[in-house]
A = this chain, B = another copy of it.
Amino acid sequence: MSEFDLIRRHFTRATPSALLGVGDDAALLQVSAGNVLAVSSDMLVCGTHFFTDADPYLLGHKTLAVNLSDMAAMGANPRWATLALSLPKVDEAWLEQFSAGFFSLAQQHGVELIGGDTTRGPLNLCVTIMGEVPQGKTLRRDGAQVGDEVWVSGSLGDAALGLAHLQGKIDLPEDARIHCLAALHQPTPRVALGLALRGVATSAIDISDGLLSDLGHILERSQVGGEIDFVTLPIPDVMISNELKQRCVLSGGDDYELCFTAPAARHVDILSISEKLNLPLTRIGKIVAGQGWVIQDATGNQLKIESTGYEHFQ
């Protein structure tokens, strides 16, 4: 099968929202009036982000999901994506499953695959996602204000617990295992939440490297500090050691929940968004003057944290 057949068979779907889709030197897109374009790229590498035997359907889902999560964190409405993939060989069954997982999630979010590249090489998946957001309504990292509340969506640490289970570090009971492995393999990007937070949140980020690392980016860019109450964190109810729990929740990667800040005056609005989306939103602390975060336990003592996030090159 040629590269062109491969693209035609597995990666060409209708692109009614594009002026020109797959099949030319570039796709042509029209950004809606009054909107700016939000653009982000994420690369998933075999051996680094997933195992060789990863289920291709779930991998197709996750490849797009981590990119949709970036759109959510900007308050952008995802519209288009390119997919560049490097494959060791053409495996029809794998490609069929991978593209099915990718397009299933794309369709849910109205995202069209408008271009990309296929080439031979070690398995590598690179998506660039493009979305729209009305000018002035973007959720940036640099808008947190002293006095804001800090919130997170969903629960934290599930994916990290799932990974720890796969690595044989813990042995999760069946219910928790199913839940945590789903969080790891098939994360739900919080796109609807990002859209709902336009004009409500003062800053937002998606949690991909662990809460503390990613919250740290908001604090740094906004030049403020943060106080987090450990007991308020939405943590899966699993019987594991406190140390491991802390590590997974605070520094585990792959959550793809949103961490955001909003004025205390919007507290009720956020609870109403939570109810409308049927998605837990938890106030976990507040923004203070200063820099960096502190984490307090139930008695108000500061927790000491060693690792603060996933690092590719350390």
Q: Is the CB of A29 within 8 A of B25?
A: no
Are B45 and A122 in contact, with the CB atoms below 8 A?
Answer: yes
* A312 & B205 in contact (Cβ 8 Å cutoff): no
Task: Closest B residue to A218 by CB, please name it.
Answer: B24
- A186 CB to nearest B CB, Å: 21
Would B6 and A43 count as touching, CB distance under 8 A? no
Q: Are A43 and B312 in contact (CB under 8 A)?
A: no
Check B206–A25 contact: CB distance below 8 A: yes
Chain B: which residue is nearest A129 at the CB level? B26
| A141–B41 alpha-carbon span in the complex (Å) | 27
The reply on A23 being an interface residue by CB < 8 A is yes
Question: In the assembled complex, which residues on chain B have CB atoms less than 8 Å from the CB atom of A121?
Answer: 45-48, 122, 124
- A118 within 8 Å of B (CB atoms): yes
Name the one of B19, B41, B311 contacting A117, with C-beta atoms under 8 angstroms.
B41
Assuming A49-B119, A128-B128, A131-B26, is B82 touching A41 (CB within 8 A)? yes
**Does A119 lie within 8 Å of B45, measured CB to CB?**
yes
Q: Does A51 contact B (CB under 8 A)?
A: no
Chain A 25-69 per-residue mask, 1 if CB under 8 angstroms from chain B, else 0: 111111100001111111101111100000000000000000000
Among the listed B24, B39, B43, B84, which residue makes an inter-chain contact with A74, where contact means beta carbons less than 8 Å apart?
Answer: B24
Copies per complex of this chain: 2
Is the CB–CB distance between A130 and B39 below 8 Å?
Answer: yes
Interface residues of A in 9-26 (CB under 8 A from B): 19-20, 23-26
Across the interface, do A82 and B124 meet the contact criterion of CB distance under 8 Å? no
A116 adjacent to chain B (CB < 8 Å): yes
A128 to B48, CA, bound (A): 22
Pick the contact of A43: B117, B133, B313 (CB < 8 A). B117
- Least distance between A32 CB and chain B CB atoms (Å): 10
- Asked if A126 lies at the interface with its beta carbon under 8 angstroms from chain B, I say yes
A45 touches B311 (CB 8 A): no
Q: From residue 103 to 136 of chain A, which have CB atoms closer than 8 A to chain B? A: 114-122, 124, 126, 128-131, 133, 135
Sampled A-B contacts (28; CB under 8 Å)? A1-B313, A6-B313, A23-B141, A23-B221, A24-B74, A24-B140, A24-B142, A25-B40, A25-B204, A26-B40, A26-B70, A28-B36, A29-B38, A31-B31, A37-B37, A39-B128, A39-B130, A41-B82, A41-B116, A41-B126, A43-B119, A45-B86, A45-B122, A48-B120, A84-B126, A89-B313, A90-B313, A119-B312
Besides A29-B36, A31-B37, 16 other A-B contacts (C-beta < 8 A):
A1-B313, A6-B313, A24-B221, A25-B71, A25-B206, A26-B71, A27-B38, A28-B37, A28-B39, A39-B130, A40-B82, A41-B84, A43-B124, A45-B120, A48-B121, A118-B312
Leading 8 A-B pairs by shortest Cβ distance: A45-B121, A26-B40, A25-B73, A128-B128, A126-B126, A43-B84, A26-B38, A41-B82
Taking beta carbons and an 8 Å cutoff, which residues of A are in contact with B? Answer: 1-3, 6, 19-20, 23-31, 36-43, 45-49, 70-71, 73-74, 76, 80, 82-87, 89-90, 114-122, 124, 126, 128-131, 133, 135, 138, 140-142, 204-206, 221, 311-314
